[in-house]
Structure 1
Amino acid sequence: MSIDEFSKIITHLNLDIELRPTAKIDIVSIEFIESYLRIKKDDKYLSKQNDKFDYSKSTEGVLLRLRKLKPQPKTIFKYYSNDEKGLNLDALKNKYLYHSSFKSFNDPFDCNINLVSFRKNGKFKKTQKKKKDLFKNKLNNVGICCFTTKKDSILMWSHYSNSHKGYCLEFMKKEEELYPVNYIKDFNKTNYYDNIKDSEFHLTYSKSEEWSYENEYRSIVDNIDPTNPNSRKRKYSPHRLKSVYFGVNASDKLKLQIIEILKENYLNFKEIELYENHLKENSFGIESVKIN
């Protein structure tokens, strides 16, 4: 809550509180304001900077907490390259999101099996090895689709949209649909025997803090058939597609292809906003110009 919001509340409640950085607020006033805002003790989420909660492991509880801490975006973005096989254009045409295997990711630490310990009572026996192998094989049935809250990241346009030659789609985000990635400093491990589900979360939602600039959200499905590529294609409603952003190096051919796909396959075509990206003249940045 900002100081201005807090000031409005105490003014509305006619509370006599001195608004100075050094001023102290008595506990009675705090509890009264909390009661007024209907804040439950279990839901007092502080800013992460001051929160003493342990975020070093990406358990389900940590991810739920992160989702409450972060202001939830109304829309999310996904970058696409202008691939030669036209697979990305096929996904746009047929309105599906492809949930990739972790093996295709550019970060070798992403979904790294070593994030989970299979030692029991400090020992690693044959039975533990079997558990590890089964857990590792289960990853083959997992599909991951990655999104971000940023549409103007120079690095992401470079990495995921083949040097700004591709495009970026903006989707309406369903409430409580996705979990944010947890960016951790140290290579902390969960123990498989403590909580299997938490180990699964930790494995698929943990990344090094060096990747934090991506501000990533993930959609994860665990019923993939590794022998059937179509099982990785998950349909979305056309009304969820809000905008298309063309990279600064996107060709006119690609732009026309996408516009034709939208016209022919999206009944809500006129509602979908189209933007061209341009380099800013006096800073290292990208600006988007609406073209429809």
Structure 2
Amino acid sequence: MFKYFRFDEWSIRNLRENTLYLNHHSFFNDPFECRCEIRTGFPKLGDGSSRFADVLRAWGFEKADDEVALENYDEYMTSLEGAEPDIEYYIDSARITCFSRRPDNLLMWAHYGDGLRGFCIEFDEGRILDSQESANLYEVLYAETPSVVDASVMAVLHDQWYYNNDAFFETETLSKCSGSDKGFELSLYESGIKDAHDQIQQLYQKMLATKPIAWSYEEELRLIDCSQREDSLGITLPYPVSAIKSVVFGEKISSDHEQAIVEIVSKMSASIELKRAVRVTGSFDIHISAF
């Protein structure tokens, strides 16, 4: 994945210190950033709505008329009273930094790479994620309308994650103490943990990584830290030097700026490749060539 930069004090400091700057969404240039429709309140039993079906699916029931689900629905929802998360707080706490899928995106060079006067860093996704405790990588969704995020669905998914997680460790402990084979039960709980986690991440993607279709040219990925916080200040996240695979210089970067970056990178690792983004004669394409 690739991150475009103009050459300035902040980009050079982050390169030198091996850090990424993550900002509050209100500082981004999209006025619809992190704008979603939030629904709250558990749907009534058997109301026939899509929300009711979504809650049942989060609970693990595929059919909205499942007898077991209908029989226990009111009792289960009562047990979750007050468990709906504050979606707006989640959004406000998130800190985001953005990447693109390609190093030869003309509009990305124009908008974020200072018209080929800046530079672009290629990062290894795995090494970036391995160095983070509270951050995840999300593919940006491009849509015609804002996403719908249901707090009741998220409450059920959180409960299912905790239930399966607790059950897994209790069963694992019992298996070790008794010497009995609980492999099948453990696999069921593992599946429940993964399903809940994946669906929770999909909701985070909807509320924090969904943009209007007009932005689809960015082919964006987002690294998002969702730690709880009470301010709107940006944060820096460190990453290992090994996370940098290459540095791509814009064709129009000044020789002084280029030399400054070369000196920094040469002290970091000999394995970091240096490349150049150049305009192709006879077309409006950008070509990535050897340095």
Short-chain TM bin: 0.5 to 0.7
Q: Deviations over 1:32-69 (max 9, x none)?
A: xxxxxxxxxxxxxxxxxxxxxxxxxxxxxxxxxxxxxx
Instruction: Please say if residues 102 and 110 of structure 1, whose CA atoms lie closer than 8 Å, have aligned partners that are also in contact.
Output: yes
- Give the TM-score normalised by the residue count of structure 2: 0.61
CA distance in 1, matches of 2:7, 2:101: 21
- Structure 1 position 285 matched with structure 2 position 257: no
Q: Deviations over 1:206-262 (max 9, x none)?
A: 112222222211111112656696x72111111121111111221111101111111
Q: Deviations over 1:143-172 (max 9, x none)?
A: 112111110111011111222221100012
1:261–1:191 distance in 2 versus 1, CA, 3 Å: same
CA distance in 2, matches of 1:207, 1:168: 23
Q: CA deviation at 1:199?
A: 4.5
Instruction: Please say if residues 224 and 232 of structure 1, whose CA atoms lie closer than 8 Å, have aligned partners that are also in contact.
Output: no
**1:111 is aligned with what amino acid?**
C
Two-structure CA RMSD over aligned residues (Å): 2.9
Identity over aligned pairs, percent: 27
**1:115 is aligned with what amino acid?**
E
Q: Among 239, 242, 248, which residue is 1:239 paired with?
A: 242
CA distance in 2, matches of 1:121, 1:228: 33
Q: Among 101, 105, 108, which residue is 2:24 paired with?
A: 101
Q: CA deviation at 1:133?
A: 11
CA distance in 2, matches of 1:176, 1:260: 23
Query: Relative contact order (C-alpha < 8 Å, sep 6+): which is higher?
Result: 2
SS at match of 2:152: coil
Instruction: Please say if residues 6 and 119 of structure 2, whose CA atoms lie closer than 8 Å, have aligned partners that are also in contact.
Output: yes
CA distance in 1, matches of 2:120, 2:112: 9
Q: Which residue of 2 aligns with 1:206?
A: 210
Q: CA deviation at 1:98?
A: 1.3
CA distance in 2, matches of 1:90, 1:224: 26
- Give the TM-score normalised by the residue count of structure 1: 0.61
Q: CA deviation at 1:142?
A: 1.2
Q: CA deviation at 1:195?
A: 2.2
**1:280 is aligned with what amino acid?**
V
SS at match of 1:271: coil
Q: CA deviation at 1:106?
A: 1.2
Q: Among 82, 91, 97, which residue is 2:14 paired with?
A: 91
Q: Which residue of 1 aligns with 2:168?
A: none
Instruction: Please say if residues 143 and 224 of structure 1, whose CA atoms lie closer than 8 Å, have aligned partners that are also in contact.
Output: no
SS at match of 1:194: helix
**1:278 is aligned with what amino acid?**
V
SS at match of 2:11: helix
**How many residues are matched?**
202
Query: Equivalences for 1:251-266 in 2 at 5 Å?
Result: 251-264=254-267, 266=268
- Structure 1 position 78 matched with structure 2 position 3: yes
Q: Which residue of 2 aligns with 1:158?
A: 110
CA distance in 2, matches of 1:87, 1:176: 20
Query: Equivalences for 1:2-81 in 2 at 5 Å?
Result: 76-81=1-6
- Structure 1 position 220 matched with structure 2 position 224: yes
